[in-house]
Amino acid sequence: MRKKPLKQKNPPRSIAWMVGAALILAVMLIAGFRVLRMVIMRSADSFFYPYLKVASGTDNISDSSLLLCSTIELAQRVEALTARNRELALQSKSVGALLEENRILRDMAKLTERSENGFVIAEILLRDPLRYRESFTISKGSRDGIVPGSAVVDVSPDGRLLLIGIISECGARSAKVLTLADKSLHISGRVGANGAIGFTNTGTVQPGTGMIRFGMLPVRNDYIAGGAVMTSGFEQMIPEGIKIGELHFSGSSHPGFGEVEYSCELLPAAAFEKIRFVAVLNRRIPGVKMP
């Protein structure tokens, strides 16, 4: 008798189900991990982005606090900025007309262009939270013609120059600014009413007032509160006639020594804590080669 061929045994269905389930589980775990990772990264990005955003010279948002505002607050800020832009546009048009008129008059008088001073516009990149009003870092450096000692100014709505401070340190692409609020910065100023010369930061003032001490003035009786103080031009890199601030309080620095020196408090013309852009004066001095 012939033997019947043996039938091949098929693998148990349970093993096939286990393998299939394992594959499906692995796919789900991989997909779930990727989705979870993406959600965590986006959540972390949204949370930390306002604090890690750094101001730059591009058209990107440089005021990181805007990223924390609600839609209503953003709308209010947009409306305020729109109104400010209209005002600036009108001022720009007026200034443009004056510049064109000045150009025509200079051409008629055959006058050459003045080249004593140049301007470099820079953006504030970094502020020290502990010295917010005293110093900051700007986005221009020696490659842009900036040198230590250069005057740093703001411009008022009516076009007047307001002294902020000076360049204290200069790198290739950035520079450090010391403002008038820094106690180590002594700038000479001329009192407009009588022409007396004094110096900034000759003493201390009450904290939180925003004032600085203006002293070493000759003893006189005609100092007027609210009088304008302008740069004297004594410093080589600081032109004459830039507004420093206004006198607000007068008193004697050394009453025990026969009042040999007159001192007062000065309110700076520039609002250091609100500035985002500054202008650096590159004064061309005869015999000194600018970078």
285: pLDDT strictly greater than 70: no
> What pLDDT does residue 244 have?
95
- Strand, helix or coil for residue 207: coil
Closest among 159, 169, 145 to 242, alpha carbons compared: 159
- By DSSP bridging, strand 228-231 and strand 277-283 are unpaired
pLDDT tens string 193-246: 788 899 998 888 877 788 899 988 888 777 888 889 999 988 888 988 999 999
Residue 132 pLDDT? 84
Classify 29 as helix, strand or coil. Answer: helix
Close Cβ partners of 57 (under 8 Å, ≥ 6 residues apart): 123, 139
Domain ranges of the chain: 116-291
Q: Alpha-carbon distance 43 to 73, whole Å?
A: 22
Longest Cα–Cα distance of the chain, Å, equals 143
The predicted-structure confidence for 28-64, as pLDDT tens digits, reads as follows: 888 777 777 766 665 555 554 444 444 444 444 445 5
Query: What's 116-291's CATH class?
Result: mainly beta
Report which DSSP code applies to 142.
G
Beta bridge pairs of residue 126: 137
SS3 67: helix
Tell me the C-alpha distance between 57 and 60, whole Å: 8
What does the pLDDT look like over 233-280, one tens digit per residue? 888 889 889 999 998 865 544 444 455 677 888 999 998 888 889 999
Residue 24: HSE in the Cβ half-sphere, 13 Å Cα cutoff: 6
